[in-house]
Structure 1
Amino acid sequence: MADEPVRNNDATEIANAVVIAITGVIAAIGSYQGSLWEGQQATAYSRSNSLRTESNRAADHADTMKAAEAAVFSAWLNARATGDTRLADFYARRFPPDLQHAFNDWINQEPLTNPAAPLTPFLTPSYRPAGPALAAELDRKAAEVFEEGQRANHVSDAFAQGGTILSLSLFFAGIAQVFRRRRVRVTLLFMAILACALGAIRVFTLPMITIMNQGG
C-alpha cells in the first residue's frame, strides 16, 4: 500500500516541534557549560604558568643563596686557616639561616680534629635549605594545576561532542518537515529522537559548573 501523505497539523509535526525545542534547550545548556569549562581551562593553564615561573624564580634564588653560603663559608675557612679568629667569628655570625644551624652542628662535631665529622656543614643532615624545597613544591603544584586544565579541556571537548550529536537531531527534525510522506517523516523523526537522546546522555553525564562553583 502506498505511503499516505501527511495532513496539516499531523502528529509528526507536533512531535518534530517538541524534539526541536527539547534539543535546542539541551544544546544551549551544553554550549554554556562548554564555554565555562573553556574558561576553567584557560584559568588553570595561566595559574600553572605562574606557578612554574615562581618555581623557577625560587630555584634561581636557591642557587644564588647556595653560592653565597659557599663563598662565606670559604671566607670563614681562610680566616680560620690564617689564625684570624676575629675575622672568622665575624663571618660565622653572618652565615645565612639555612647554613647557621648546620654550621653549629658541624662545629659541635669538632671537624678539625674528628675524622668522622662531615667535611663541610653542607654535608650534615641538618643542612636543609628551604629554597630547593620551595621550588619543588611550587613545581608540584604547577603540575597539579596543569592537570586540572587538561581535565577541563577534555570536559569542554566532550560538551562540544554532545553539541555535535544534538545538531544532528536538529537536522533530522528540521528536514523531516520538508517531506510530505508519513513514512519518511516518521523515520527522520525517529532518527532525530535517537540523536537527541544520545546527545542528552552525553551532556547530562558530564560534570557541570554551577554559578556557586564558579564564584568559589
Structure 2
Amino acid sequence: MTESVSKRDRWRGSRELVTVIILSVTAVLTAWCGFQASKWSGEMSIAFSQASSARVQAADASSEARDARQWDLTIWVQWVLADADGDTTLRNYVEERFTPELRTAFDAWQADGRADTGPFAEKSYVPEGSAHAAALNHRADQRFDVALQMNHRADNYSILTVLFALVLFLTAMSQRELNDRLRDVLLLTAIAGTVVGAVLLITFPVDL
C-alpha cells in the first residue's frame, strides 16, 4: 500500500514537471507557427500583387499587338489593291512600309506560293508585342501558382497554431481539480498532440 502511494506521489510530482514542459514548449511552438503563418501570408500577398501587375502589363502588351496587327492589315489591304490594279510603283511603295513582322510573313507567304489565306496565316507572323504579352501572361500564371502555394503553407501553419492552442487548453485543464485518471488522460492527450504537431512542423518549409 505504501509503495503504491509512493508511486502516485512520484507521478504527481512528475506530472507537474511534464505539465510545465508541455506548456513552455507549446507556447514557443504556437508563437513560431503564428510567426510563420504571418510570413507566408506576406509572401502570398506579394506574389498575388506581382501576378496582378504582370497581368495588367500583359493586357497592355496584347493591346499593342492588336494595334500592330491592325496597322499591318491596313498596309496589306493597300498592297492587295495595288497588286490587283497592276500598279507596280504603288505596290513597291507599300512594300517598303511593311513592318519587319509583316515583311517576314510576306516573304514566307511568297515562298509558299502565295496561298489564298495571305501572310497573316503564316506561323512566322507574330505582331509586335505578342511575344512580350505571352511572356507576361506566363509570369502572371507562375506568380499566381506561387501565391496559392504560399497560401497553402500559411494555412498549414495556422492549423498547427490551432492544434497547439488545443494542447495548451488540454494541459491547463489537466491542472484543474479533477479525477486523477481524467487529468492523466488530458495530459497524455496534450503530450500526443504536441508530438504530432512537432513532427508535422519539422516537415513544413521555413521563411525567415
Q: Confirm or deny a common fold (TM above 0.5).
A: yes
How far residue 193 of structure 1 moved from its aligned partner, in angstroms, is: 0.8
Among 197, 200, 206, the alignment partner of 1:199 is 197
What one-letter code is carried by the residue in structure 2 that aligns with 1:193?
I
Instruction: Show CA shifts across 1:87-121 (max 9, x none).
Output: 33332112111101222344566xxxxxx422322
Question: RMSD between aligned alpha carbons?
Answer: 2.7
Whole-Å separation in 2 of the counterparts to 1:175 and 1:144? 47
Among 52, 56, 61, the alignment partner of 1:53 is 56
Whole-Å separation in 2 of the counterparts to 1:39 and 1:187? 39
**Structure 1 length as normaliser, TM-score?**
0.81
What one-letter code is carried by the residue in structure 1 that aligns with 2:201?
V
Q: Report the 3-state secondary structure (helix = DSSP H, G, I; strand = E; otherwise coil) of the residue aligned with 2:177.
A: coil
Q: Report the 3-state secondary structure (helix = DSSP H, G, I; strand = E; otherwise coil) of the residue aligned with 1:178.
A: coil
Q: Does 1:15 align with 2:18?
A: yes
Structure 1 residues 83-98: aligned runs within 5 Å: 83-98=86-101
Q: Is the 1:99–1:127 Cα contact (8 Å) retained in structure 2?
A: yes
Q: Is the 2:26–2:194 Cα contact (8 Å) retained in structure 1?
A: yes
**Greater mean deviation of Cα atoms: 157-166 or 191-200:** 191-200
Instruction: Show CA shifts across 1:22-73 (max 9, x none).
Output: 1111111111111111011111111111121122222221111111100011
Structure 1 residues 72-91: aligned runs within 5 Å: 72-91=75-94
Which ranges of structure 1 fall in alignment gaps of 5 or more residues?
A: 110-115, 212-216
Among 20, 31, 34, the alignment partner of 2:34 is 31
Show the counterpart of 2:69: 66
**Greater mean deviation of Cα atoms: 161-170 or 48-57:** 48-57
Same amino acid, percent of matched pairs: 29
Whole-Å separation in 1 of the counterparts to 2:123 and 2:13? 86
Q: Does 1:149 align with 2:143?
A: no
Q: Does 1:40 align with 2:40?
A: no
Q: Report the 3-state secondary structure (helix = DSSP H, G, I; strand = E; otherwise coil) of the residue aligned with 1:58.
A: helix
C-alpha change, 1:72 and 1:26, in structure 2 (3 Å) is same
Show the counterpart of 1:118: 115
Whole-Å separation in 1 of the counterparts to 2:126 and 2:65? 11
**Greater mean deviation of Cα atoms: 25-34 or 122-131:** 122-131
How far residue 180 of structure 1 moved from its aligned partner, in angstroms, is: 6.4
Q: Is the 2:40–2:153 Cα contact (8 Å) retained in structure 1?
A: yes
C-alpha change, 1:79 and 1:180, in structure 2 (3 Å) is closer
Q: Is the 1:176–1:184 Cα contact (8 Å) retained in structure 2?
A: yes
**Greater mean deviation of Cα atoms: 116-125 or 31-40:** 116-125
C-alpha change, 1:124 and 1:12, in structure 2 (3 Å) is closer
Whole-Å separation in 1 of the counterparts to 2:201 and 2:56? 36
Whole-Å separation in 2 of the counterparts to 1:108 and 1:26? 70
C-alpha change, 1:182 and 1:105, in structure 2 (3 Å) is closer
What one-letter code is carried by the residue in structure 2 that aligns with 1:117?
R
Whole-Å separation in 1 of the counterparts to 2:123 and 2:180? 85
Among 123, 132, 135, the alignment partner of 1:134 is 132
How far residue 6 of structure 1 moved from its aligned partner, in angstroms, is: 7.1
Show the counterpart of 1:166: 164
Whole-Å separation in 1 of the counterparts to 2:165 and 2:61? 50
Q: Is the 1:172–1:189 Cα contact (8 Å) retained in structure 2?
A: yes
The count of aligned residue pairs is 202
